[in-house]
Structure 1
């Protein structure tokens, strides 16, 4: 949005009015943002709408005068927004939805760098793994799988889980009881389907109360298991193994999502071949989960449509108009 310009005692702005609907589990930061904005912008330019039911979101999607909708959340809700918006009119809808992101570690990759990248990319200490961009599937070449797994477990077990008011805490509780129960159920399903808990797998022993789940790593995971297919959106990392590049690509692409992916190798040419084959909207080579200003972020398949964090996103909130003026004498 361009800067505010004082002209003829009136404040004029170029751009869009905004309606921000935060999630019901975490409304306070958006409310505070609204308070700060109210000190510098006129009423009605930015509007914060809260609500625990689907009603506010449905009203926004169905309003005939709201032509541009951007949503970040679950695939199911994104599809509902598409359906409601299409029933109300022709709207521009962008969606940043779920992810079951693959981090592919080839046999020539550095063990320590890959293990550090896997733990960092899972966003354990950033969001308790509650991030659509977390690399929740770690695909490792069988020749180095045991060493990578062992180091990942060491690093994960060093994460300090606790209440956020403690300065030593690195990972807090999950966002709600409903989500705590959902993540806990996925851990049970992993065990039932034959995966092995390498670390974690439940509530931390020193936290008998609260919505805490220890950062969890499953080994022995196969591509068809539930924990390898469905987005858990919590601190649960599934480790799978492969023998060939083609098998790695097949496993990585074998889910409904396509948000992010990464490949770890010392062979740049080989890495770029993977980049071509991986069906994901954002791919790192020897890195994971790191965003850079101006680089478009967004997925393919069930992970959504449209891009964020870039000029492309800014332009998507504008409308172009073509004007043609004939030359004199025509």
Structure 2
């Protein structure tokens, strides 16, 4: 089948977290806008993002991490083989011409299926270091798109096949672009606290007492949106309000674009998709990288890179004490210069055209029939 067949489909594979799925969604919608047929392969967690997948054909495949001992790896290999066979059948039925992989272990099986069919594989890396899945697939990739100029783990890959596109962001994030909200000594201060798609317990433990420790004149100006899943969410909101803080505490915000647009400062993890959203909208942040798991090193690198650029401040979770956070917040909120300066740097680094640039790369690969 020629790669340029008019009935061909472009497939995308993404892990089950928002950090992997949202960039895939952004590319899928850009390709749909250009008239291409698309399909997203993900796993059950990814399928829970019903708003992101609305109107996009998608297939839910079994998935399992390769982490663990010999028994775990064997079990994972069987799951991956089953998923790869299912993906292969679906790709043949849809006449898939190319697969774009966005990382996460659920993207591995569709990539294997694509290679058995001789399809070109485009990998997209959101972070400053190749993910485990992308690292294992890199040798089979026809091209690699990156979000940053320098990505660790790519030394052996042909630079001519690498393209810096940036990290695609969702339409609601693009719509949130605009001037940084005015900040003076007497205006309200909008603080957004989010822990990624999985939330973050530490933010519920440390942020509220840090806010309560702020001077009364700052507390009275604060409007806080805190993403928190704990059973004591109502009690936390009540304590903040009693201290004069306008607080909205919820387990999940489904209007992230509007909240980012309103925010003067964001307290957040340092996932690559979170970083891309912040840069596109142009908002400064206090980054608290995840302290454990496979994302630990990736998030620390992201946070350090952005902090060094002047976009925000990196506070490793072991150092995130009530006293340290309260002191930093007090310093930032007492200044009318520091946050706007960081916001301007963030906006200068944003890549709002990333989805379009990545779609251009896909179309160039299709035109060349790249393998």
The interval holding the TM-score normalised by the smaller chain is: 0.3 to 0.5
Give me the TM-score of the superposition, normalised by structure 1.
Answer: 0.36
Q: By percentage of residues, which structure has more helix? A: 2
Give me the TM-score of the superposition, normalised by structure 2.
Answer: 0.33
State which structure, 1 or 2, has the greater radius of gyration over its C-alpha atoms.
Answer: 1
